[in-house]
């Protein structure tokens, strides 16, 4: 027994030595990659190494430096935009702020040929003073948290200690400023406030607005100070800010991310994750509420939590932890290689309008087939082997439904004749009913006529009811009285119009002076009184109409709800594709009406492209009633 114990002891010592040797090797490798900055990093290690009271701080320094070679930062903000951020910082927080900001950014972008700042490994640039200051402030904040709520050292290293969240430019005083600005949080927590309420309070006060095209206006992530001034950017910018806020307070925070939705034509998403003791909260940067409730039932292939340290068993990124099962039901699947594709790296893809297929997860090979674990339901996938830049499918696209059943879309020889197609993109999903609301919100809205600008004793010429369409609707008015004023009135509701027109008995469009009230949005100069499908007007309790030079008979009115433009537009050229080992065309058509008719192979995966306008397109199938069935969307008829 003694001999056995001795052997075990020697084995443990040996393993410990190997572990230490590996750790030393990783640290040395990172220091060597630092090049001329190696001395700066060694100063940090030496600062903590010889003081036994700083043993945890030394471990924290080692942790940061070991992983630093995997992190990159833009070395500066883009010059020329300083005035824009300073100007918008002084602008009031109203409904026009975003439009002003976009115009200012665009004006600078148009005048300059903007070179993208250089992205450099942090290990080559981070100074010793900045790193020591980061460690000191991190520990100071961490130690302010009550023992029962305090993060473990491992979580501290990954989700509190890191000096930034993404590849945004580093600002050396950001953590200290954020800690001071949000120091009130500690008192709130002491008084029993929930993490949920704290996060929502911070977001409500900050009022961040998502600007999806921000990277087209400004090519790199915003710095902390730029976000504070603008309070606008892409989701990642808002998440970066909030993550840094909570880390400055010693509270676990991280970016959760979907690299690509299962039902979006090209985009993914990111949001904030925070944890305080046993409390966890996942929330979007610009809305209240827990996304775990909102996203349940959504089309989500994979959710990953960004980490600072390298993850050995990663499914998509080596700097992310797979947390899909915390958000949606998942399934483990094996996809047979029926196409006899040569073995290489197994990858799982979802549809993408721009690249056709976008990767969302790695898999594993098993008996020449591919295994994918923990993937989300309600998603259409393609299993393939990736060899360099080549995507080599091993089977036909398949949909995992909400009951975890799998259906493959292998085209049949049977042809479905005269299938009507009315859209090229799904209408709504579990989290987004906005497009449906745009239509139904017009119900009970009024068209009114009056002979005074206050619309005293106004007469209702038409009341909208049972409206559920994205198309232009023209209605003949029965009223024969003449009016100097006519208006569309949202009747105390929030509504939006993309088109509004009034006509005389001969069908000629009436012109007059525009009258309006409570128009929170008037996008572009002519608003609804033009033929631009992208311009719209509206708001809560808004009115919009015309003042005529003399009393005029209004014979008819035409109106169209704000919409995504993804219905069939007359005059546009469309092309339908189906998937059979690759995308194959079923022909082009010029739309003569709001419906297209095609003959399609049964059980085929289809993609309708508008070659004239727009970019929002997604795959669908045809059900037994010859209706378009949108995969990963709600399917309103």
pLDDT in tens, 175-193: 999 999 999 999 999 999 9
What pLDDT score does 637 carry? Answer: 44
Give the C-alpha separation, 265 to 610, whole Å. 13
What pLDDT score does 1 carry? Answer: 36
What pLDDT score does 3 carry? Answer: 38
What pLDDT score does 636 carry? Answer: 55
- For 20, other C-beta atoms within 10 Å of its C-beta total 10
What pLDDT score does 320 carry? Answer: 95
Least confident among 6-20, 81-95, 498-512, 533-547: 6-20
For residue 606, what pLDDT band results from cuts at 50, 70 and 90? Answer: very high
**pLDDT exceeds cutoff 80 at 266:** yes
Q: What is the DSSP letter of 448?
A: E
What's the mean pLDDT when you consider all of the chain? Answer: 91
Residue 540 CB burial class (10 angstroms; 0-12, 13-18, ≥19)? exposed
Least confident among 4-8, 141-145, 175-179, 474-478: 4-8
Per-residue pLDDT averaged across 457-463, rounded? 95
**For the residues of 22-87, what is the DSSP string, one character each?**
HHHHHHHHHHHHTGGGHHHHHHHHHHHHT-GGGHHHHHHHHHHHHHHTT-EEESSPPTT-HHHHHH
What pLDDT score does 605 carry? Answer: 98
pTM flag (> 0.85): yes
Which of 361, 357, 401 minimizes the C-alpha distance to 379? 401
Query: What tens digit of pLDDT does each residue of 559-582 get?
Result: 999 999 999 999 999 999 999 999
Give the C-alpha separation, 600 to 598, whole Å. 6
What pLDDT score does 357 carry? Answer: 97
Give the C-alpha separation, 618 to 421, whole Å. 13
Angle at 283 between CA 281 and CA 287, to 5 degrees: 140
What pLDDT score does 431 carry? Answer: 84
**For the residues of 476-495, what is the DSSP string, one character each?**
E-----EEEEEEEE-TTSEE
Least confident among 49-58, 381-390, 515-524: 515-524
What pLDDT score does 376 carry? Answer: 97
Q: In which element (H, E) is residue 459 found?
A: strand 459-463
What percent of the chain clears pLDDT 90, i.e. is strictly above it?
Answer: 80
**pLDDT exceeds cutoff 60 at 348:** yes
What pLDDT score does 18 carry? Answer: 36
Between 518 and 489, the higher pLDDT residue? 489
Query: What tens digit of pLDDT does each residue of 580-595 get?
Result: 999 999 999 999 999 9
Per-residue pLDDT averaged across 513-541, rounded? 74
Query: What tens digit of pLDDT does each residue of 283-321 get?
Result: 999 888 899 998 989 999 999 999 999 998 888 899 999
54-62 own/partner pairs: CB under 8 Å, 24+ apart: 56/139, 56/153, 57/135, 57/136, 57/139, 59/153, 60/135, 60/138, 60/139, 60/156, 60/157, 60/161, 61/131, 61/135, 62/23, 62/27
Give the C-alpha separation, 475 to 556, whole Å. 5
For residue 2, what pLDDT band results from cuts at 50, 70 and 90? Answer: very low
Per-residue pLDDT averaged across 14-21, rounded? 38
Angle at 127 between CA 46 and CA 222, to 5 degrees: 145
Evaluate whether 341 touches 391 at the Cβ level (below 8 Å): no
As beta bridge partners, residue 272 has: 255, 283
What pLDDT score does 394 carry? Answer: 97
Give the C-alpha separation, 498 to 522, whole Å. 10
CA distances from 314 to 19, 121, 240 (A): 21, 21, 22
What pLDDT score does 521 carry? Answer: 61
Give the C-alpha separation, 310 to 397, whole Å. 32
List Cβ neighbours of 475 (8 Å cut-off, separation of 6 or more).
462, 556, 557, 558
What pLDDT score does 23 carry? Answer: 53
The three-state secondary structure class of 319 is: coil
CA distances from 339 to 67, 342, 395 (A): 41, 9, 6
**pLDDT exceeds cutoff 70 at 459:** yes
């Amino acid at each position: 027994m003694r001999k056995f114990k001795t052997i075990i002891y020697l084995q443990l010592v040996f393993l410990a030595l190997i572990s230490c040797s590996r750790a030393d090797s990783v640290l040395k490798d990172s220091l060597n990659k630092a090049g001329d900055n190696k001395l700066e990093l060694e100063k940090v290690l030496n600062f903590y190494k010889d003081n036994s009271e700083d043993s945890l701080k030394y471990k924290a320094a080692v942790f940061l430096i070991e992983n630093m070679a995997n992190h990159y930062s833009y070395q500066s903000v883009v010059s020329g935009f300083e005035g824009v951020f300073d100007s918008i910082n002084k602008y009031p927080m109203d409904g026009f702020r975003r439009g002003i900001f976009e115009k200012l950014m665009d004006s600078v972008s148009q005048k300059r040929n903007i070179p993208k700042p250089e992205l450099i490994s942090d290990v080559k640039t981070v100074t010793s003073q900045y790193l020591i200051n980061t460690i000191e402030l991190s520990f100071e904040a961490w130690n302010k948290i009550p023992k029962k709520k305090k993060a473990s050292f491992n979580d501290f290293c990954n989700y509190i200690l890191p000096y930034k969240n993404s590849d945004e430019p580093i600002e050396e005083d950001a953590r200290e400023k954020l800690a001071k600005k949000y120091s009130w949080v500690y008192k709130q927590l002491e008084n029993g406030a929930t993490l949920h309420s704290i996060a929502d309070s911070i977001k409500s006060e900050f009022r961040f607005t998502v600007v999806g095209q921000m990277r087209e206006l400004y090519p790199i992530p915003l710095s902390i100070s730029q976000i504070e001034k603008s309070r606008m950017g892409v989701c990642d910018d808002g998440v970066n800010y909030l993550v840094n806020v909570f880390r400055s307070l010693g509270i676990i925070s991280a970016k959760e991310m979907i690299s690509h939705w299962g039902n979006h034509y090209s985009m993914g998403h990111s949001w904030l994750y925070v944890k305080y003791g046993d409390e966890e909260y996942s929330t979007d940067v610009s809305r209240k509420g827990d996304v775990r409730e909102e996203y349940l039932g959504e089309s989500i292939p994979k959710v990953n939590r960004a980490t600072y340290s390298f993850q050995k068993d990663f499914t998509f990124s080596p700097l992310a932890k797979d947390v899909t099962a915390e958000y949606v039901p998942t399934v483990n699947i094996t996809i047979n290689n029926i196409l006899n594709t040569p073995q290489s790296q197994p990858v799982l893809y979802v549809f993408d309008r721009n690249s056709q297929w976008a990767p969302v997860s790695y898999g594993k090979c098993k008996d020449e087939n591919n295994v994918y674990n923990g993937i989300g339901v309600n998603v259409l996938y393609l299993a393939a082997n990736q060899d360099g830049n080549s995507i080599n499918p091993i089977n036909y696209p398949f949909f995992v439904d909400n009951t975890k059943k799998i259906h493959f879309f292998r085209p049949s020889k049977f042809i479905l004749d005269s299938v009507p197609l009315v859209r090229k993109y799904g209408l709504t999903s579990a989290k987004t009913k906005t497009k449906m609301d745009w239509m139904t919100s017009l119900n009970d809205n009024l068209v009114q006529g009056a002979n005074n600008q206050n619309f005293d004793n106004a007469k209702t010429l038409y009341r909208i009811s049972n409206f559920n369409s994205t198309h232009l609707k023209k209605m003949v008015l029965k009223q024969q009285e003449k009016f100097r004023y006519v208006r569309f009135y949202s009747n105390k509701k929030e509504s939006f119009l993309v088109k509004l027109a009034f006509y005389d008995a001969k069908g000629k469009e009436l012109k007059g002076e525009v009258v309006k009230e409570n128009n929170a949005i008037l996008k572009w100069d002519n608003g609804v009184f033009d033929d631009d499908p992208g311009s719209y007007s509206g708001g809560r309790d808004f009115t919009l109409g015309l003042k005529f030079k003399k009393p005029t008979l209004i014979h008819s009115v035409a109106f169209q709800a704000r919409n995504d433009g993804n219905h069939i537009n007359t005059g546009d050229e469309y092309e339908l594709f189906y998937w059979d080992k690759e995308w194959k065309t079923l022909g082009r058509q010029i739309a003569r009406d709001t419906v297209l008719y095609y003959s399609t192979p049964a059980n085929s995966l289809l993609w309708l492209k508008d070659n004239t306008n727009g970019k929002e397109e997604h795959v669908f199938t045809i059900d037994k009633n010859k209706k378009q069935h949108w995969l990963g969307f709600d399917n309103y008829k």
